[in-house]
């Protein structure tokens, strides 16, 4: 997709001199997001390894003290979850809603379909699994003992309301000086065969402004006007 290539080029160009995303500027515009990608065996590892800066669209939220940051579904499929075998065209946009007063992530949600390849003896087949991610910085969430199902390792979700031991991870609201945030929550995987309620590894990220903006606050890259002047959409939006 030519537009996709241009947007990724814009994002990577902006990382060298990018400033942290300004939550108080509700002007619709492209910004960037870099996801922290901890190993699934270490879901509590923080601020370690990040993806390259990826394009995201900032726009006013439903309330006057909110902004919404939309990561297009194709960005998630190709650059955040490529090794998880996402089914092309099934992922919604990854939508982050921020409280501009406190920096809290009110919600960060996404859904889609993963393809799981499984094997029983000589039999090999593929199973489609629905995925839903729900996170915020409003309360703690955690994990206990990792497991494996359908060839996928996961950390079981838990929280402070349970009696059993739980490795709690403290959320961190948006830091305007660094662009860092750590939302916590769950990742649910459901198929005809199984259901898994696990800790989400996708809540830690760094948001930044795009470096290439003109005086009016719009992108100056050679992207079709319709692309940079309106909210991105994905197959399931």
pLDDT in tens, 43-83: 656 667 888 999 999 999 999 999 999 999 999 999 888 77
Between 168 and 192, where is the model more confident? Answer: 168
Please, which residues bridge with residue 196 across strands?
189
Give pTM, 2 decimals: 0.78
Domain boundaries, the chain: 2-228
Q: Which of 164, 104, 159 has the alpha carbon at shortest distance from 136?
A: 104
The answer to whether residue 38 scores a pLDDT higher than 80 is no
pLDDT at 225 over 70: no
In Å, what is the CA distance from 37 to each residue of 43, 60, 126, 205? Answer: 9, 28, 26, 9
pLDDT of residue 103 exceeding 80: yes
Residue 175, number of CB atoms within 10 A of its CB: 14
Across 81-106, average pLDDT: 92
Looking at per-residue pLDDT, the higher value among 218 and 182 belongs to 182
Q: Which of 52, 49, 66 is nearest to 174 (CA)?
A: 66
Q: Is the pLDDT assigned to residue 116 strictly greater than 80?
A: no
* % of residues, the chain, pLDDT over 90: 46
């Amino acid at each position: 997709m030519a537009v996709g290539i241009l947007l990724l080029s814009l994002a990577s160009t902006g990382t060298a001199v990018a400033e942290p995303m300004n939550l108080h500027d509700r002007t619709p515009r492209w910004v960037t997001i870099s996801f922290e990608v901890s190993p699934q065996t270490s879901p509590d590892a923080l601020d370690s390894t990040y993806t390259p800066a990826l394009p995201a669209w900032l726009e006013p939220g439903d309330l006057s003290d909110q902004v919404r940051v939309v990561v297009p579904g194709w960005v998630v499929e190709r650059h955040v979850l490529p090794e998880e075998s996402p089914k092309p065209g099934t992922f919604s946009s990854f939508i982050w809603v921020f409280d501009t007063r406190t920096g809290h992530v009110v919600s960060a949600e996404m859904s889609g379909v993963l393809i799981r390849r499984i094997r029983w003896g000589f039999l090999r087949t593929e199973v489609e699994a629905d995925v839903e991610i729900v996170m915020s910085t409003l309360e703690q969430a955690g994990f206990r003992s990792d497991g494996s199902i359908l060839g996928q390792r996961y950390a079981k979700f838990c929280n402070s309301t349970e009696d059993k031991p739980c490795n709690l991870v403290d959320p961190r609201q948006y830091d305007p000086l660094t662009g860092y945030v750590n939302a916590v929550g769950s990742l649910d995987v459901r198929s005809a065969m199984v259901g898994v309620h696990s800790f989400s590894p996708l809540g830690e990220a760094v948001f930044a402004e795009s470096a290439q903006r003109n005086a009016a606050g719009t992108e100056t890259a050679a992207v079709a006007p319709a692309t940079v002047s309106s909210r991105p959409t994905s197959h399931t939006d």
